[in-house]
Amino acid sequence: MNSSCTSQLSVFPRIYSSSMYRMALMLLFCCLCLRPAFAEFLLFGDFAAQLRSAPKDSDDLDKNDLIPKATLFYSGKIGRTRVLAEYTADDEDQHLGRAKLGWDLGDSGIIWLGRLHNPSSYWRSQNHHGGFLQTTISRPAITEFEEKDGVVPAHLSGVLVEGMHARGDGGWRYFVGAGFSPTFTESGLETPEIFSGSRGAHDTSLSLRIGWLPDTVLDDEVGFFISRNHIDSEVLGMDEVEQVYGGMYFNWEAGGVTFLSEAYYVGNEIYQPSGNVRDGFANAYLQAGYGLNSGVLLNARLEQSWGNQDDAYLARFPAFVQQRRLVSLRYDIARHHALKLEFEHAHRQSGYRYNQLGIQWSFVLP
């Protein structure tokens, strides 16, 4: 990056009051200054229709939904400098998902600065905001983003280092993240600001994920993750939440069937004037996928939680799906279009149970 770009970028935080616009303008400025040797704009879109069986006296969910969604994805690089940004909009919300500036360290990896995905989730690392990337319509509840009733931090604002240590045909893949965590509000977790005038020890996030790949050409991977988050609270009567979670994951193909699983244990300590409350719960999912023929993929997924019934933290997330049984069929119509049909039986933290039939058309352009 030339010196003129650097000097102009340094004054951005002092000029603009909105963090989202500041980062958007910074990234746009970088794109124009860098004139990337490689640049890619992608538009992910999906339209989903959902029909549910619900008790007539229930107001937990509507009987049916029509959900449009679009995600604009940009990636560019020149030399060792990289820029990546994601902007997502649906019928309820619009936000800047990721916005990060990176420096290629060569064989040592890449260092990123900005708003990042918390690396302690394998699902999110493989399937970001674009629905076309997922083999199913829904994602496991434990991997949901903050704005979709996520119960663990999906984003952090700070620094992320990622890399690969090669060993023969395979290697160890690692991700280390540090920065600022989401804020706890009356509606749940809120994505962390990219810039803020005040930061402290009560909104920090540290995360680590390490995975073993026996062959870097294949998708097979097994590993573990851990994350510690101090979540500042805006809820009356709650000062903060100290959350520590960790677990293991694997993505493995055997006999034509691909198995994907993550297992979490989440410990929460709620700090409040009347006394601290410490709870914890476990959650895991197992998904199996099998290709019936060219372009057709059958998936089944089980999700289950343990210790969630009396958890004081989860009580604030009534929409969290603590149990789900799902069968899904995906048909790739063309290279960039997919049609999915999905049936699920789900049980929310609120006690609400329902059956749901969903259909989704998803695509990526160009």
Between the alpha carbon of residue 272 and those of residues 143, 231, 240, 275, the distances in Å are 27, 13, 7, 5
Confidence band, pLDDT 50/70/90 cuts, at residue 56:
low
pLDDT: which is higher, 21 or 256: 256
Place of tokens 């400098």: 81
- Kind and range of the H or E element at 171? strand 170-180
Q: What whole-number distance in Å separates Cα of residue 240 and Cα of residue 180?
A: 14
End-to-end C-alpha distance for the chain, whole angstroms:
28
**Interatomic CA distance for residues 306 and 324, integer angstroms:** 13
Least confident residue range of 192-201, 215-224, 253-262: 192-201
Candidate from 68-77, 81-90, 127-136, 197-206 with smallest mean pLDDT: 197-206
Q: What pLDDT was estimated at residue 9? A: 30
Number of domains making up the chain: 1
Between 97 and 137, where is the model more confident?
A: 137
In a domain, 62, yes or no: yes
**Nearest CA among 94, 133, 95, 100 for reference residue 116:** 100
pLDDT digits (tens, 9 = 90+) for 325-335: 999 999 999 88
> Is the distance from CB of 121 to CB of 157 less than 8 angstroms?
no
Length of the chain, in residues: 366
User: Does the pLDDT of residue 230 top 90, yes or no?
Assistant: yes
Q: What proportion of the chain, given as a percentage, has pLDDT over 70?
A: 86
Domain, as residue range, for 324 = 36-365
Could you give the residue ranges of the DSSP H alpha helices within 236-344? Answer: none
| Residue pointed to by tokens 């903060």 | 240
Query: Residue 243's pLDDT is what?
Result: 96
What is the average pLDDT across 270-278?
Answer: 91
Torsion of CA 218, 125, 44, 70, to 10 degrees: 160
Asked whether residue 259 is domain-assigned, the answer is yes
User: Which pLDDT band holds residue 231 (cuts at 50, 70, 90)?
Assistant: very high
Low-confidence winner among 62-66, 214-218, 246-250, 313-317 (lowest mean pLDDT) = 62-66
The per-residue pLDDT for range 107-147, each reduced to its tens digit, is: 889 999 999 999 999 999 998 878 899 999 999 999 999 98
pLDDT value of position 33: 55
**11 is a domain residue:** no
Residue 23: inside a domain, yes or no? Answer: no
HSE-CB for 308 with a 13 A CA cutoff? 26
For the stretch 280-312, pLDDT in tens is 999 999 999 999 988 899 999 999 999 998 889
pLDDT of residue 256: 92
Tokens at residue 325, please?
């049984």
> Is pLDDT at 59 greater than 70 in this prediction?
no
User: Which residue, chain included where needed, has tokens 């019936």?
Assistant: 292
- Average pLDDT over every residue of 69-83: 91
- Tokens representing 56 are 């007539």
Tell me: pLDDT of 75 over 80. yes
Structural Rg of the chain based on CA atoms: 21
pLDDT at 339 over 90: yes
Residue 83 lies in a domain: yes
How far apart, in whole angstroms, are the C-alpha atoms of residue 187 and residue 113?
28
Share of the chain above pLDDT 90, in %: 67
Is 339 within a domain? yes
* pLDDT class of 160 with cuts at 50, 70, 90: very high
CATH number, position 110: 2.40.160.10
